[in-house]
Amino acid sequence: MDNPGSHHRAGEDIAARSERRWAIIASSLVALLIIVMIFIGLHWAGQPPSRVETVNPATLHLSGEFAENNLGSSVQPDGSVLVRVVAQVYSFTPQCILVPDRTPITFRATSADVIHGFLVYDTNINSMLEPGFISTFRFRFKEPGEHLMPCHEFCGPGHEGMWAHVKVVDRDEYRKLVALGRGNSCVQR
Ligand code: CUA
């Protein structure tokens, strides 16, 4: 016997099932989007803020731009100065960076082991040095002076004692030191 009430109930069941199915699909999509957002957020949090230039920290000292004799400051063909710095537990190389005033300076720095901080007092240079990545900053010192350069990321028990100096000299004096072969650092030799 055909019963209109059971037809009605079957129709309701189908509607309820289809509603549930679409609710599951819609909420899985929302959940998927949230997972993707969390993943992207964490992934970006693990990257340096602006640069994605990479370098192999294990072979840093052997060859390439961060080999020991390339560290410190050097005059570029356009007259600007390039400074390369390597951080390692618990020091910077070189320990004293010599640069001229009134000259565009590019710093390129990286870490040979763990995350260190790179901060030059009285400037806006403030970044992390991460193994595997090259941090780059540009700066122009207005006048001669000494700037402390402490590590400001906790890198281990020797962190407190990890710091270097940036020594800014008059650009003419700097040129003389370069001519004497003493332009790349102010470490006493
Ligand atoms: Cu290096 Cu703290």
pLDDT in tens, the chain (189 residues): 556 667 778 888 989 999 999 999 999 999 999 999 999 888 877 765 555 688 888 888 887 889 988 899 999 999 999 999 999 999 999 999 999 999 999 999 999 999 999 999 999 899 999 999 999 989 999 999 999 999 999 999 999 999 999 999 999 999 999 888 887 888 765
Atom of ligand 1 nearest to the CA of 153: 2
- Count of other CB atoms within 10 angstroms of residue 186: 21
Ligand 1 centre to CA of 107 (Å) is 18
Q: Give the residue whose CA is nearest to atom 1 of ligand 1.
A: 116
Euclidean distance between CA atoms 98 and 81, whole angstroms:
10
C-alpha distance from residue 60 to each of 83, 86, 91, 143 (Å): 16, 9, 15, 33
Return the closest-CA partner of residue 71 out of 184, 189, 181: 184
What is the Å distance from ligand 1's center to 52 Cα?
21
Task: Tell me how far CA of residue 183 lies from CA of 1, 82, 131, in angstroms.
Answer: 104, 12, 27
Task: Report the separation in Å between the CA atom of 64 and the middle of ligand 1, taken as the mean of its atom positions.
Answer: 24
Q: What is the pLDDT of residue 3?
A: 62
pTM comes to 0.71
- What is the predicted pLDDT for the residue at 10? 84
Which pLDDT score, from 0 to 100, does residue 34 have? Answer: 96
User: Is residue 142 a contact partner of residue 155, using CB atoms and an 8 Å limit?
Assistant: no
For position 29, what pLDDT does the model report? 96
Distance CA 34, CA 183 (A): 53
